[in-house]
Chains A and B, each alone.
Chain A
């Protein structure tokens, strides 16, 4: 069965600290996609990254980096030198192509609070 687990419900850090958000997924397929989305207090879902199952390269984008490890079924997200504007709920999601549909299975989200 497909499942995404974000075990950290809420994390609080002080500005400029590094923080890692964990995501563990379950799937039986060999082809799948993983995503991270940010939901700021305003409520919209902001796309951060997409990774397919055949690409295990880690990625860095500014202060953001992602570590994809198929061996542990994890797709963790690190924010370096956190800022108050990073305060949001972060969702990890899994998508498997099935009969032409790409529905997402979301984790329950991690609320990040960055304190000034």
Chain B
């Protein structure tokens, strides 16, 4: 167990629907990163939150949004789902000490299948 919890592990939904993926970071980590792993795009950075604030955005579609709550858990919302959104979505948390990244701890991922 990495300490980063992602739920659900698997999700199957229909095109046009909306889903919410949840991530609880490791205790003490203030940063949450979201990544998408798809067959054609590989592992891509989506968004970074630090202590409730958005810090950086990557190739995240406008149909996707995220937030980090006061208890530091984060949710990734995917709406108007398309077949191409089928992917493995990873959350990672990290701690930054004196400006240096200690590296991420990844969750086990949520596998989203859009049918």
Seen from chain A, the residues whose Cβ lies within 8 Å of a Cβ on chain B are 33, 35, 37, 43-45, 47, 50, 52, 91, 93, 95, 97-106, 108-109
Task: Kindly provide the distance from the CB of A105 to the nearest chain B CB, expressed in whole angstroms.
Answer: 8
C-alpha spacing A115/B8, complex, angstroms: 33
Assess whether B103 is in contact with A99, with CB atoms less than 8 Å apart: no
B96 surroundings in chain A (CB, below 8 A): 100, 102
Q: Is B42 close to A, CB under 8 A? A: yes
Q: Which B positions have Cβ atoms within 8 angstroms of A?
A: 2, 31, 33, 35, 42-45, 48, 50, 55-56, 58, 88, 90, 94, 96, 99-109, 111
Q: Which residues of A have CB within 8 Å of B88?
A: 43
Shortest beta-carbon distance from B39 to chain A in Å: 11
Count of chain A to chain B residue pairs whose CB atoms are closer than 8 Å in the complex: 61
Task: Say yes or no: B42 contacts A109, CB within 8 Å.
Answer: yes
Task: Please give, as numbers and ranges, the residues of chain A lying within 8 Å of B90 by CB-CB distance.
Answer: 45
- Residue of A whose beta carbon sits closest to that of B99: A97
DSSP majority for the A interface? strand
Residue of B nearest to A104 (CB): B45
Chain A residue nearest in CB terms to B102 = A50
Contact B103 A103, beta carbon cutoff 8 Å = no
Please give, as numbers and ranges, the residues of chain A lying within 8 Å of B42 by CB-CB distance.
106, 108-109
A47 touches B45 (CB 8 A): no
* A4, B23: Cα distance in complex, Å: 27
Closest chain B CB from A72 CB (angstroms): 23
Known: A99-B55, A102-B48, A103-B45. 6 other contacts (CB 8 A): A33-B101, A45-B90, A47-B106, A50-B103, A97-B99, A102-B101
Contact, CB under 8 Å: B109 / A44: yes
Determine whether the beta carbon of B104 is less than 8 Å from that of A104: yes
B101 → A minimal CB distance (Å): 4
